[in-house]
Amino acid sequence: MELDSETTDRIKVWANKLSQTSGISVSRCLKVILWESANLVQLHLFSDANIMALRVVAYLRVSDPLGNISCRFIMGKARVAPLKHVSVPCPKLSAAVLAIRFASTILAMIDFRVDGVYYWTDSTTVLRYIRNDQARCQTIVANCVSMIGDGSDQNEWRYVNTEWKTVNDATRSKQSKG
């Protein structure tokens, strides 16, 4: 099947405009915020999920002895949630597993020290599963909890109020202020 001339012309215009973007660059250098006097470097990962999507964002937080703090967005991801509806904790646990994978990828890519990794969730249920050493769980929950336990320490997990999580921006509409 051949494209009509109007569609072909639109594609050519788009391709020409696309070539003009080659001069655009975005500074993603994390070492810019790693000043010589940095005494604390932390990786913070926020995870969340609902029936529509799994979301994770990662930030680097650097502080110096004078109390100067710099935070830099590293990466974020939103994935469509599985079509098969499962229990409420399963998507949240899957997002937590995704956060573990993010941290592993980030730590493998950077060439500077990180003093601490912190994982944030608004799900007290997820935190209870992670800290639970005795109760038996469904297979899917047990597998997620096992992966989380293999990739992190339960003390690295923290609670964050839903209103404070920037990870929600990945799937919630935002109203412009102004």
Residue entry with tokens 């915020």: 33
Summarize pLDDT for 141-175 with one digit per residue, the tens: 888 888 888 999 989 999 998 776 565 555 444 44
Residue type, 34: L
Is the pTM for the entire model greater than 0.75? no
> Which residues fall within 8 angstroms of residue 85, CB to CB, at 6 or more apart?
51
Q: How far apart are the first and last CA of the chain?
A: 48
Domain over 30-164 is classified CATH 3.10.20.370: yes
Residue type, 127: L
